[in-house]
Structure formats: C-alpha cells, structure tokens
C-alpha cells in the first residue's frame, strides 16, 4: 500500500519503522523542521526525519500546512504530497494542523464505513484526552488505564470516528517518557494490523461517545512549578507527568531545582507545606498540603540529575529549610 506519513517525535518514528518493516511503500514523509535543542541550541532533526533519511525516504518539513504565505513550505509540501499519490495518509504526533484539503488528497481505502483517507494514531482512549498532551495529562490525572485509538482524521480536535482502540495500564512508576514508549509500540502494532484488515475492505468505524470528553491541553512551562500546598499524591503525579519535559521544579533558598523522581507518603501535618522534614540519603522529605513528598532524584540548574545521596553530598539541605510556595510563572525554568 502507498502510505504518506506525517509525524515528528520518537512515538511517530516507531510507527513509521513498523510500516516499512511490514512492506508498505512510503513515497513521502512529512515532519516538522529541525529545532534548536540542548545547551548549545544546535539544530536537531526530528526522530522521524532521522529515520526517514536513514531509510532513503523523501522528506519535506513545512512550517505550516495552511498555505498562509509563500515561505512557510506549505505549497511545496502539498505539491510533494500530490505527486506522491498515496492511498492513505497516516499521522502520528505530527504537531501541525492539517487542513481538510490535505486530508482529502489521498485516493483512500474503501471499507464498510465508507472511504478512509487519513488515519491518526492517537495516544489515548478517545474521547478522553483529545489534544496535544494525552499521555502527560493521563498520568497527571491519575488515570489507571490509557491506550491507543486509531481514528479518521477531520478538522475537529481528535473528533473523528474510531477504527481501533486498545487499552494498557498506567503503571505506578510510569513517566510520560516510559508510558509514551509503550504506547508507541501498541500504536505501531494496531496500525499495521488495521492496514491488513483494510486491504481486504473489511474495516468499519464507530463514532466517538458524546460522554467522557476531556481535553489534553499542551503542557505550559509554568505548570512545572510545584505548589507544596497541594496533596503529595498530586505532586508525585506531576513529577512523573512532566518527565522528561518540562521537568517538575521548585525553588529552595536561592536555588532552582528540578525534581525527577519522587514518592508520596503519609505524613501527619507537623509543619507548614514546603518545609523540609528530613534530608537523608534515601530521600528529601517535604511537607505538603496532605502527606509528604519524598524526593529521590533532583537536579541543580545547569547540573546533572542526581540521586538524593549524591546531591546532598555536594549541597547539604537542613531540616526546616523551606521550598518557596509560589513562583512567578514567567520565571525561567
């Protein structure tokens, strides 16, 4: 089958590799342009771009697909997509809005529910967590399960009819990074299996339920600041949800610290929220609005991620020290 592919991060690269390994022809890959990354802010190609070029696939990287100006690359991308003459467009975490004329361009695959032209691999059990950050929001909310939904693409925000849907558990130690990696494998497997079914014209779609709709808005950097007045269980979920980006953080004295690994524990209210109760090799215990957060791994600004014992060896923290409760949301993280 001739499949045009649109995706950007590692989550999408897993799906692209699976399509290639299954023997599908990929005449064109759309991915976002190279972005500055790392301390040196050097331009870095997306995971999809790196894989596509390694496999010898043609790649286009428009800044937009809306054809708003002559220099955003949209017209070139549309011409390349038309020339590729795909049967289907498969999209996975692309990150750019695709107008209806783009979704309508593939010739399509006929099935019991009409013609499929553009299919999205979405990392949630729709209609829960429509939007940009479904994995992080599922962890942050304390969901016990999430999954993958294959759906028809349309101009609405993840509103299309569902083709396949499969759940997996959210483990107690899952971060956005680890859960995304597992979901990437599931999404790739479901996509390849659906294509086998679609080739026989057997597929059919189901409308999303009207109930249970939630929106997974993009993670804003200011959300990474921990408010110690919240329950420890809420803060522990935030730490996992914001790993690897943007990283949960707080200010202790004059130091900005990122918190990468933490556990909520029961704790009688013996001190004000944000107070360091114990600073030991096995963790730094901080009073919260309910319970305490034991920080196991943290990082100074410009430093490396360190276990609590290694951190304290170089930067001792005294019991009674106070984390700042409120931080200016515009302060640089």
The pLDDT of residue 104 is 96
Closest CA to 76 of 47, 33, 34, 13: 33
CB atoms < 10 A from the CB of 64, how many? 15
Which range, 196-200, 239-243, 325-329, has the best average confidence (pLDDT)? 239-243
- Residue 298, domain extent: 221-314
Within-domain flag for 305: yes
72-106 confidence digits (pLDDT tens): 889 999 999 999 999 999 999 999 999 999 999 99
Predicted confidence (pLDDT) per residue in 275-317, tens digit: 999 999 999 999 999 999 999 999 998 899 999 999 999 999 9
323 within a domain of the structure (yes/no) = no
149 plus 73 within the same structural domain: yes
Residue 333 lies in a domain: no
* Residue 157 and residue 59 share a domain: yes
The dihedral through the CA atoms of 103, 106, 111, 115 has a sign that is positive
Task: Give the chain's mean pLDDT.
Answer: 94
The pLDDT of residue 224: 92
Same domain, 197 and 129: yes
CATH number of the domain within which 141 lies: 3.40.50.170
Q: What is the pTM of this model?
A: 0.95
In-domain check, residue 331: no
Decide if 330 is inside a domain. no
Q: Provide the token pair at 270.
A: 């013996």
- Total number of domains constituting the chain: 2
Reported confidence tier of residue 330, pLDDT bands at 50, 70, 90: low
Same domain, 256 and 149: no
CATH value at residue 251:
3.10.25.10
Q: Assess if residue 19 is contained within a domain.
A: yes
Phi then psi dihedrals of residue 21, to 5 deg: -65, -25
pLDDT, position 329: 58
Residue at which a domain ends, from 198, 216, 234: 216
Tally the C-alpha atoms within 13 A of residue 298's C-alpha that lie toward its C-beta: 32
């Amino acid at each position: 089958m001739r499949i045009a592919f649109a995706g950007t991060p590692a989550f999408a690269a897993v799906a692209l590799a699976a399509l290639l390994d299954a023997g599908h022809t990929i005449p064109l890959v759309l991915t976002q342009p190279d972005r500055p990354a790392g301390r040196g802010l050097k331009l870095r190609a997306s995971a999809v771009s790196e894989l596509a070029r390694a496999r010898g696939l043609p790649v286009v990287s428009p800044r937009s697909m809306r054809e708003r100006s002559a220099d955003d690359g949209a017209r070139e991308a549309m011409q390349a997509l038309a020339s590729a003459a795909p049967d289907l467009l498969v999209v996975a975490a692309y990150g750019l809005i695709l107008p209806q004329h783009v979704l309508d361009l593939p010739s399509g695959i006929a099935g019991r529910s009409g013609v499929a032209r553009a299919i999205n691999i979405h990392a949630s059990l729709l209609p829960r967590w429509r939007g940009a950050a479904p994995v992080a929001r599922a962890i942050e909310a304390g969901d016990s399960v999430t999954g993958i939904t294959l759906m028809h693409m349309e101009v609405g925000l993840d509103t299309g009819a569902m083709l396949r849907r499969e759940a997996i558990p959210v483990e107690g130690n899952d971060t956005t990074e680890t859960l995304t990696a597992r979901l990437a494998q599931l999404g790739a497997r479901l996509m390849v299996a659906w294509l086998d079914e679609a080739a026989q014209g057997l597929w059919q779609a189901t409308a999303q339920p009207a109930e249970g709709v939630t929106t997974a808005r993009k993670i804003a950097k200011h959300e990474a600041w921990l408010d110690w007045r919240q329950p420890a269980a809420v803060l522990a979920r935030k730490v996992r949800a914001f790993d690897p980006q943007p990283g949960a953080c707080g200010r202790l004295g004059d130091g900005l610290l990122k918190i990468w690994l933490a556990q909520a524990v029961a704790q009688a209210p013996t001190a004000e929220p944000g107070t360091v109760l114990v600073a030991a090799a096995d963790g730094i215990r901080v009073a919260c609005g309910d319970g305490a957060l034991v920080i196991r791994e943290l990082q100074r600004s410009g430093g490396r991620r360190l276990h609590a014992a290694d951190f304290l060896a170089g930067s001792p923290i005294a019991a009674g020290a106070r984390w700042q409760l409120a931080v200016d949301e515009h302060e640089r993280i």
